[in-house]
Amino acid sequence: MDRINLRNPRSGRQVRPSARPAGRRGGDRRGGFSLIELVIVVVIIGIIAAIAIPRMSRGSAGAADSALSQNLAILRNAVDLYQSEHQGLFPTGTSAQVSDQLLKYSDINGNVSATKDTTNGYIYGPYLRAVPVMTVGSTKGKNGIAVSTDAATAPTGGTSDGWLFNAATGSMAPNVVGVTNDSAGKLYSSY
């Protein structure tokens, strides 16, 4: 076996080859993580997830409750404005007629038109751009309005109705089929 004769270019002295590979420090030790280090990291991530996930789900339930409260306020304001412009009368009729009275132009008697027509008296409204959707319960995503015209009878909505409206009293309530309380324990019927 031939010996390699290496010389330092500056001094001209013979240099012994190193046992260490060039460009590495610390010998043969390789970089990376041990199995224990990886297990510790996974456990820490699991603990953080166990804390964060329930908090995020409570936040989304609270957001749906807040959206319900805001949508209900929008509907009630629209009904109040309709009443003030129509000589104290509330929108009345079928579900479709009440929706039309809130979404389209109307005359003093509550007859509706798709366009504003000052010649024929369609000068009131529209009071909403769209009927807001229900954000909780089994009627989530629905925007129909169930109507009752008797002050003593509460409206009963089906699965396609998001809102309950009593045309005699002007009260608007959420149709919360299947749920009774919000995430804080407050009754939806008291919204």
Q: What pLDDT, in 10s, does the model give residues 86-134? A: 999 999 999 999 999 999 999 999 999 999 998 999 999 999 999 999 9
* pTM beyond cutoff 0.75: no
Residue 97 is assigned to a structural domain of this protein: yes
Residue 12 is assigned to a structural domain of this protein: no
Residue 154 is assigned to a structural domain of this protein: yes
CA distances from 85 to 18, 92, 111, 177 (A): 97, 14, 13, 33
Residue 131 is assigned to a structural domain of this protein: yes
Residue 74 is assigned to a structural domain of this protein: yes
Q: Which domain holds residue 75?
A: 54-190
How many domains in the chain?
A: 1
Residue 11 is assigned to a structural domain of this protein: no
> How do residues 59-92 score in pLDDT, each as one tens digit?
667 788 889 999 999 999 999 999 999 999 999 9
Residue 120 is assigned to a structural domain of this protein: yes
Query: Which bin fits 42, alpha (ψ -120 to 50), beta or left (φ > 0)?
Result: alpha
**Which residue in 190, 154, 158 sits closest to 169, CA to CA?**
154
Residue 184 is assigned to a structural domain of this protein: yes
